[in-house]
Amino acid sequence: MELLLFGIAKDIVGESNIDLSDQSSVPQSVAELKLFLSAEYPDFQKLTSLAIAVNSEYAGDEVLLKSGDEIAIIPPVSGG
């Protein structure tokens, strides 16, 4: 399971991708993934507006995750 990080999410983690495969408890859903990120990187707690895509498709909190999924974390950006 690979996470691709964009915008402020990339800045928070300090890398543009992380591999979750070797985690002891891999998040089972998008909702769990958000909790995982907030626990691992506390700065995620303040991001109230975060789009998540699983295999290039927008995914709500209820969407289940499986190994091999490519997950994109997409915060809104405002610059112009």
48 touches other proteins by CB under 8 A: yes
19 touches other proteins by CB under 8 A: no
Q: How many residues bind other proteins (CB under 8 A)?
A: 24
Q: Interacting stretch for other proteins, rule CB under 8 A, among 18-26, 28-36, 67-75? A: 67-75
Grouping H, G, I as helix, E, B as strand and the rest as coil, residue 7 is: helix
61 touches other proteins by CB under 8 A: no
Tokens of 31: 């909702």
Chain contacts with other proteins (rule: CB under 8 A): 4, 6-8, 10-11, 16, 46-49, 51, 53, 56-58, 72, 74-80
